Structure 1
């Protein structure tokens, strides 16, 4: 069976389509789905992930390797394969590069978090980390809000400048800046963290400077990883997650549970979408949306790609 390349999928299937597919899944889904917690197998700094899911007529599985140190080798952090099967017969129907599916669905999850939870008049977007997810969240941020200005931070300035050049060519109507992390945090209405850092990447600000901001945390997916600062985790007015597994898997949410006692009834993306929930007084609040992903989101994305362009 041919493996469809990441580039081909990205050229055919847009971030807007992915966001709509996930949103419509929750609005229109019929019957239950099976989406177990992903299996983590750790090998030093690297992680192998197995992510199966069942829904409707389909079974899908994603096999992924995450190698954080690849950034030092100018290689992608994530590699893998995504396979879609006929649920009844278990015959493989479609196989593709998992990077494209992961990029699309992770960006879409963050974008839906922005669509429902960020203040309506958000104009500035800050992106910490310029890898695959830094790019996908630029795309989804532009779908979710009328963004006019984007601030970029990466520990390696050369990579930030390369990202800026690529972004200016792709989105000439947007103004891009390479900024310090402090300047980015102060000037951005929406801040996206896309790193695999074990130490918080957000700066300490005056509490009032966090008000009116949404922080979308998407990089940390292991208990030892924490991108968001204790200050933000402790003082945020509202915290949401894409899936409840985030409360168990992410070091950010594990730390949040240590710092506060109000996460027992945390809303996930399904409830946010089904209730059409938008926070009241968002311009006066600090709002966190933590995303770790789940296999059902991969299935919904690859199903939409397959049915739209390859079936």
Structure 2
């Protein structure tokens, strides 16, 4: 069995390839897949997740631990292992750092949401939360759109400043700003919420301030977590999800169902991609894309990495 580090993955595989692997899966998949809802085990504020999936010749499972208080201890919030198996024999083929897979997969899903759902001339990005997923969504935004300017907000300004310095080295042609959350929303065409906050992190603004914007919500994955304000949930003209399980796993979507009728009819990413769905007049709408991820997407990205680097 091959064992690969996050550093090796990041050197040999790109966000662009991750986005393409998921897009190709939806467009060209030949077999059915099995991707049960992930198993959640709550331990106080911490969460353990078990995420199996089956597709083609492969079976995979991801083991995840989420500890929101780790940021105050100088540790990553998420720790994870990803294992890919031969589906027929169940022989393990490949084990890797699951955080790298989660980062690529989650960023890729958000990036595909940006590609299909943001207005045509979207050039400004706002990142709320400067952890792993804030970074991965900045990477995918650069693939999905011609981003010229990025506004950054984090509860701890020091972390926002560090994020800005790292981003300026990685993307020297893009302008970066550490901004207030109000300025970030007002000046951004695409807004990413990537926090583990149990309470909404977006500000209360005039409804007109939200028009023409795509909000990509990626942080809330438990029923008791809500990043998106009731105002945005209620006034969003169109709501989309990456996978139907988002409608009952995320506190954002559970709350949205209380505020909006027919939310169960929201289009998922598979429909968006296969039907080449683009919102009409997105420059006049508030659009929400909620992403919680699913085990099948972890499998697809891991399969793509394994077949590129080891087959």
Question: Structure 1-normalised TM-score?
Answer: 0.99
Aligned residue number for residue 63 of structure 1? 63
Aligned residue number for residue 282 of structure 2? 282
In structure 2, C-alpha distance between the alignment counterparts of 1:83 and 1:124, rounded to whole Å: 37
CA shift at 1:73, angstroms?
1.1
Q: Is the 8 A contact 2:107 2:137 kept in 1?
A: yes
Aligned residue number for residue 42 of structure 2? 42
CA shift at 1:44, angstroms?
0.8
Aligned residue number for residue 272 of structure 2? 272
Q: Secondary structure at the match of 2:201?
A: coil
CA shift at 1:48, angstroms?
0.5
In structure 2, C-alpha distance between the alignment counterparts of 1:221 and 1:57, rounded to whole Å: 29
Aligned residue number for residue 166 of structure 1? 166
| Alignment map for 1:13-92 (pairs within 5 Å) | 13-92=13-92
Does 2:307 correspond to 1:304?
no
CA shift at 1:31, angstroms?
1.6
In structure 1, C-alpha distance between the alignment counterparts of 2:11 and 2:285, rounded to whole Å: 37
CA shift at 1:2, angstroms?
4.8
Aligned residue number for residue 135 of structure 1? 135
Q: Secondary structure at the match of 2:33?
A: coil
Aligned residue number for residue 103 of structure 1? 103
Aligned residue number for residue 213 of structure 1? 213
In structure 2, C-alpha distance between the alignment counterparts of 1:308 and 1:267, rounded to whole Å: 31
Aligned residue number for residue 232 of structure 1? 232
Structure 1 residue runs of 4 or more that deviate by more than 4 Å after TM superposition: none
CA shift at 1:191, angstroms?
0.1
The C-alpha deviation readout for 1:2-25, integer Å capped at 9, x for no partner, is 531111101111000000000000
Aligned residue number for residue 178 of structure 1? 178
In structure 2, C-alpha distance between the alignment counterparts of 1:229 and 1:123, rounded to whole Å: 24
- Indicate the RMSD between aligned Cα atoms, in angstroms: 0.6
| Equivalent residue pairs, number | 311
Aligned residue number for residue 295 of structure 1? 295
In structure 2, C-alpha distance between the alignment counterparts of 1:11 and 1:66, rounded to whole Å: 25
Q: Secondary structure at the match of 2:161?
A: helix
Q: Which ranges in structure 2 are unaligned for 5 or more consecutive residues? A: none
The C-alpha deviation readout for 1:80-126, integer Å capped at 9, x for no partner, is 11000000000000000000000000000000000000011001000
In structure 2, C-alpha distance between the alignment counterparts of 1:54 and 1:32, rounded to whole Å: 9
Q: Is the 8 A contact 2:200 2:228 kept in 1?
A: yes
In structure 2, C-alpha distance between the alignment counterparts of 1:268 and 1:35, rounded to whole Å: 15
In structure 2, C-alpha distance between the alignment counterparts of 1:8 and 1:68, rounded to whole Å: 26
In structure 1, C-alpha distance between the alignment counterparts of 2:66 and 2:139, rounded to whole Å: 22
In structure 2, C-alpha distance between the alignment counterparts of 1:74 and 1:2, rounded to whole Å: 30
Q: Which ranges in structure 1 are unaligned for 5 or more consecutive residues? A: none
Aligned residue number for residue 203 of structure 2? 203
| Alignment map for 1:109-128 (pairs within 5 Å) | 109-128=109-128
CA shift at 1:199, angstroms?
0.6
Q: Is the 8 A contact 2:2 2:93 kept in 1?
A: no
In structure 1, C-alpha distance between the alignment counterparts of 2:262 and 2:286, rounded to whole Å: 15
CA shift at 1:310, angstroms?
1.4
